Amino acid sequence: MTKTMIWTTVVAALFTTASLKMLHYFNFIKWSPIGWAKKWLLFGSTHEWWKWSVLFIVLFIIFGIFYQVAVRTSRIPPSVTALCISAIAAVTIEWLIHAPTSVTEGFKTLSIPFFSILAIVSRFVTGTAVYMKKSFR
């Protein structure tokens, strides 16, 4: 773990959390990013900012793992890795939330702004990881 990795994952988690809040506030996504708290009954009666804090921590861990994976795949261009990972993540997340009955219905429910946010963050994390790996060989 380096300082660069920690700062990259903190910024990525902050940006993603804030972006999800804005996407939900302006109804660009039809699901709540903190809706998992109601399903799991973990934080049912707690304040909303605790749920967002837990989401931030989970995103921090996920982006830390993603950073380590991106370092190991430094031979693949960061743009290709970021697009593939963000497409897989966006489709999987929306598929799990909406549970469509067909593939075409699944792609119709996919939120383009959500995919864009994931692509931006994925590119940031992979770009930083690959740059740091190549510059400190």
Q: State pTM to two decimals.
A: 0.89
Cα–Cα distance, 51 to 17 (Å, whole number): 11
Q: Are 15 and 121 in contact (CB under 8 A)?
A: yes
Mean predicted confidence (pLDDT) in 102-125? 90
93: tokens are: 């997340």
Tracing tokens 């950073």 back to the chain, one arrives at 67
- Residue in 61, 80, 75 with CA at minimum distance from that of residue 119: 80
Largest interatomic CA distance in the chain: 50
18-60, pLDDT tens digit by residue?
999 999 999 999 888 887 767 666 666 777 888 899 999 999 9
Cα–Cα distance, 17 to 39 (Å, whole number): 19
Domain boundaries, the chain: 3-135
Residue 130: pLDDT above 70? yes
